[in-house]
Structure 1
């Protein structure tokens, strides 16, 4: 039957409407790219693309695959980076780096690896919406063998059900035959046509003019801005505006504006270039993937504010700093000439972007960052006028030398000594900080010391939701009151950015990665200590001991500076649960800048729903809110839920609403690099539910009609064991083998295109589970 369908499809392809005219051969941009975007890109993007086969752009397909894994937590030495578009500029150069073609072969189409893999996947149909065989390894821990064309037969013998797309509803016959014909024609590739508007060209020129002025003040600010924006997908428009025509990256180029851009390839953005360079804006080509789509809006208002922030004063730069070890390790010394308030305010203005870079940045899958944080917490920032690093030059000069960051030296022999040196400096800094703030604020910190976004900037309140080895960051205070809330000042904010983004090398050795992780543990502790200053002094010790249970108490004694239990807070407290009381007051006092009021997880009425949405969405809110903020003790189904579940709800008119359901895993502490399973407290796990696509890596999806919601919620509440949960998945779940899997999966992107157009991109399905 399959052969008959293929023959009919091929006949239609080769016959025109008259039956005599041959159809045009498939075009890569028109016919092939949409298939790859629909069925392949959800796995093959970013550094964690299997076998480094990146399919976001034509350049990635042309480059091909490699056997060298980017993520290797055990390598003793760093490896040369293999960043697409940066570390090689031609197919031949990639072949020299060990990449092999997946489309070309000396034996024609049938010898190409892409054809072999797609053919293997097309030979086997999994039973519709049934669980996959357990022997198929899935997830980011899958061991990818990355066969080259000559090794494919052995791969097929050993993995007969693991063709491509892997373990999911595969290509339709029409898609397969279109790809087959394209490969029969030699797999011709075409660059994406790209034409910039006059307005885009004008704004590019304005920003490049700012960044390429040669006086010392502009040169130092340009370097700081580049190191803070090199990861961004820049676009011209407003944050909440329509989807822009193009996105751009900020590059260092060996060629000036007006000439073709030639990127300067350094491992880190603060490594010294080998020759003179210019800052350039380069259009992003190909299809966007959500996990690397970290957006930053540029517009005339932001350009004017940037100029005002950095150049309104009379500060001077006598000599530009270099790129030596100490310059890379300590940005507070490197950029000390730039007013600290300008640097901090720029980061505050765009806080969501910067916090996103911590977790969605160079790591792509970020357990280096995420296993040191709680599963759900809020972040606020110290007001610049209450930050001594900003307001007190003597204090700033005293502590700046103590704010260096480890990890630049990747030698295993040097790692221990470096760690003790930097952790010691950090603890010395905290002791000085405690003393300085006790003197400057004898009555303690009050609400006025928390940045209020100048009354309008919603970056002032953020929620971080961790999902094992990745996390999500959103403006607003989402979820129930968290166990911890971070208060970040400028030294914390900047150190976190440099440690996890600028100075992090995804191709680095185990020593570098370990030092990065260990120092971020200290940064988290610093944010917690800053928060504790706002609580009654007699309750600070019980609170931190609750955060650091079991082995965490050892870390309190040997790794962290002592907390301040002597000096008061200026905030009056009325209860013996100060963390919840602080967070409740945070919600009330900053309601005007809270981007996402949360009536689902913190409902104080009988009907829990948003007020500003259609009636059918309110009905969906009300039904699903019964699951929000529930604990495993009274909702056993939590035990079987993955960490990120998408709920798609459709009304009678075909409109959809998407909810993200997070399982927040409780931990006795998050102070150690290993044995996380041993620190889980599953009986304290909770759920956070909120409308929208709030994660890059869905673990599963339920598809529901509006009339089904009440029954679905009751079924979830009635789950008591794995058998009951499996039946729930059978009735409402979208397994990888569902006939319409891809329609539902990409419905999440379509939802973003409608509700958050500038953020819309293809989600990652490497973590989609086999429930």
Structure 2
């Protein structure tokens, strides 16, 4: 009876499912898909748009159109599950085809009529040797074109790709799993949605927050719009309620109490074209780490928002519209809301906002991430002193200069739009330099940097770029980086609107190019902000280090000059000024003094001068592990050649009987500059590469993993130290590597997720293996 609750319907009258079902989808089938399939078919770039994380995605099937297409000249129609179509028939009209049934037959046409079965059967028929490297004929990664065969073309596909079955390029299904899926498909492949049964407390929280968002006063409507545009990508939960489900905040044509019918606008600030209500819709799907960006709503949050947005006496003359100018310049759109309240709202959860544009849909692919360093720190100006939120005259002068490009998607607008908005940005930066210099002629002071009010650890963030994706974590991790971002309110808000609110993942080449080019200006502006805190005589040398080679020409053409003359009030000795590295280390020391209360766990693994730092909170085994790993974290590509060969992110599992510890080996590649979207290979400086070793997992896309017993860890480290070329690294992988074909590949991958569930359960989600490499 459970299995028949969602029987597919086809044009013919014949039954399409067996009258009795052997398995229930949620209980018996979804766990197999979750453990074997969703690691590739769960995110924005799931091959062939086949997203298996929900019953709706399984039924929708696949498409031959790719979401990520850098050469697309026009916007494509969006294909968001749960939004852009509400039935299988509507998805078929958009070109999606079933992978469960041969819908044209109208009946259960046997296993041969199921593309899913034939893919699984092909994988069973051609297994790969255990823990072997994949043959060169098997293409992996996101750079190659995916084959998306239909039933009609499957025979040709199978002949050309004998190892093209599913799960693709990994250890396959067990005999029992294959038999269960085959039986389920043969009986009609019936699905049912994930159950959602909120408790009374959870339902009361939903009602309370929907009432808050749907208040009818002018001020309340404007604040709700501002909050929605900042939370639409969030996975919202109620931290005070044990076992709270996750929700998404949507604009629905239906009021609270009725089923949610989301508006189909592409962006959250597009014109709604009809009356709507803000609603919390439950996420009835398996959570994927890449998209699982969390935000908590509780009593403390409600009180904070009331204090921020409604304690001051401000008014709204006329509610802003949703036109071009309103989308392009959120500073003007929300000018009625006190600017300081907006900035403090973002700082309260700064990691969330940085995560939305560092880990969100914009950061996919090398071209998208090529304008940021592999490891750097991000800090913020203190809201008590930040100029934009505290000086109304200055704010009025510069607000017209803070518009953002990317609204026009046609190719002809690329050049003109870019010149317009980059010119305004440079004019704004010149005014900012002049204002700050006049305001503090003696130079920047340490108290201009936000210290998290002594409790908020979002004040200090570390960002890692992993070639074609990126991550962020609270705290200052890794070595003192080559560059540090200082973000004020205009930079933080512009980055969020350009890369999240206004970014259309289905957009054209022109739109994507404008978005990513502006990200380059964001980085440059953040770096120029940081230069205020180093001595004036050292700024040019530091800037030249960031912009070597052809970047000097781009600097002369595209960027505006920074302030060379105004001093800094921070203290530096003559020794500190001898090298760029010593300047950065001295600044880091002073930053630690300013924000030490929110610095969190000290990074003794990566920043320990004499390889003898130990944290008293660690067990004897953990101290042993860190002592063994520290030499790797303190080497460079020049002293340890294997660093240059390692993937961007490798997970390391160290076991000792029933105990296990998890670390991430993060390969930070050095560059002569990151001022361009293309030609990265020519700008690499591998001798300066280094490793950051993190406790736990870092990143949504592990590129490889190692499984090492504690007693063998000295041998593992020694083998890495001895590896001087790819053959040496391959020998390490032979002994300790968890290749895609490893007999325990799926179990070990699941254990990494289990580790996150144990240590930080709110953040746990499936890892994506589309970038898992073939060492």
**Is 1:637 equivalent to 2:639 in the alignment?**
no
Superposition TM-score, scaled by structure 2 size? 0.95
Q: Secondary structure at the match of 1:386?
A: coil
Q: Which runs of 5+ in 1 are unaligned?
A: 1-21
The reply on whether 1:724 has 2:728 as its aligned counterpart is yes
Match of 1:594 in 2: 599
* Superposition deviation, residue 419 in structure 1: 0.7
Alpha-carbon distance in structure 2 between the residues aligned to 1:94 and 1:193: 23
CA separation in 1, counterparts of 2:70 and 2:671? 23
Deviation of 1:563 after TM superposition, in Å, equals 0.7
Q: CA offset at residue 350 of structure 1?
A: 0.3
Alignment of 1:540-555 (within 5 A): 540-555=539-554
Shift of 1:199: 1.2
Aligned counterparts of 2:716 and 2:591: Cα–Cα separation in 1: 34
Deviation at 1:655, TM superposition (A): 1.6
Mapped pair 1:246 → 2:251: no
1:99 aligns with 2:96: yes
What aligned pairs does 1:65-214 form with structure 2 within 5 A after superposition?
65-105=62-102, 106=105, 107-214=109-216
**2:681 matched residue in structure 1:** 677
Separation of aligned partners in 2, 1:471 and 1:611: 31
SS in 2 for 1:114: helix
Aligned partners of 1:364 and 1:31: how far apart in 2? 35
Give the 3-state SS of the residue equivalent to 1:633 in structure 2: coil
Q: Is the 8 A contact 1:479 1:629 kept in 2?
A: no
Tell me the residue number matched to 1:228.
Answer: 230
Aligned to 1:307: 306
Cα distance, 1:75 vs structure 2: 1.0
Q: Residue 384 of structure 1: SS of its match in structure 2?
A: coil
Aligned to 2:419: 420
Q: Do the aligned partners of 1:378 and 1:482 also contact (CA within 8 Å) in 2?
A: yes
The aligned runs of 1:142-541 (5 Å cut-off) are: 142-237=144-239, 244-363=243-362, 365=364, 367=366, 369-541=368-540
Q: 2:120 and 2:625 mapped to 1: Cα distance?
A: 40
Q: In 2, distance between residues paired with 1:589 and 1:391?
A: 22
The equivalent position to 2:670 in structure 1, one of 666, 673, 689, is 666
What residue is the counterpart of 2:698 in the other structure? 694
User: In 2, are the aligned partners of 1:358 and 1:369 still within 8 Å (CA)?
Assistant: no
Change (3 A) 1:458 1:138: same
Whole-Å Cα distance in 1 between the matches of residues 367 and 312 of structure 2? 39
Matched residue, 1:5:
none
SS of structure 2 residue aligned to 1:267: coil
Q: Which runs of 5+ in 2 are unaligned?
A: 1-18
Cα distance between partner residues in 2 of 1:668 and 1:388: 33
Aligned to 1:19: none
Asked if 1 retains the 8 angstrom alpha-carbon contact of 2:123 and 2:168, the reply is yes
The alpha-carbon deviation at position 587 of structure 1 amounts to 2.8
SS at match of 1:500: helix
Secondary structure class of the residue paired with 1:54: coil
Q: Which residue of 1 aligns with 2:653?
A: 648
> Displacement, 1:286?
1.4
Among 624, 628, 631, the residue aligned to 2:629 = 624
TM-aligned CA deviation for residue 722 of structure 1: 2.1
Give the distance between the partners of 2:430 and 2:727, measured in 1 at CA.
Answer: 54
Count matched residues: 746
Q: Cα offset for 1:759?
A: 0.5
Give the Å deviation of 1:442. Answer: 1.5
Q: 1:17 — aligned with what?
A: none
RMSD (Å) for aligned C-alpha atoms: 1.3
Q: Which residue of 2 aligns with 1:14?
A: none
CA–CA separation in structure 1 for the residues paired with 2:56 and 2:655: 38
The match for 1:756 is 760
- Alpha carbons of 1:244 and 1:555: their partners in 2 closer, same or farther (altered >3 Å)? farther
CA shift for structure 1 position 206: 1.6
Distance in 1 between the 2:290 and 2:478 partners?
22
- Retained in 2: the 8 A contact 1:47–1:364? no
Per-residue CA shift, 1:611-659, capped at 9, x if unaligned? 312221221111112211320111011122111111100122x121110
Residue 45 of structure 1 aligns with which residue?
A: 42
Q: 1:734 aligned to 2:738?
A: yes
* Deviation for aligned residue 1:284: 0.6
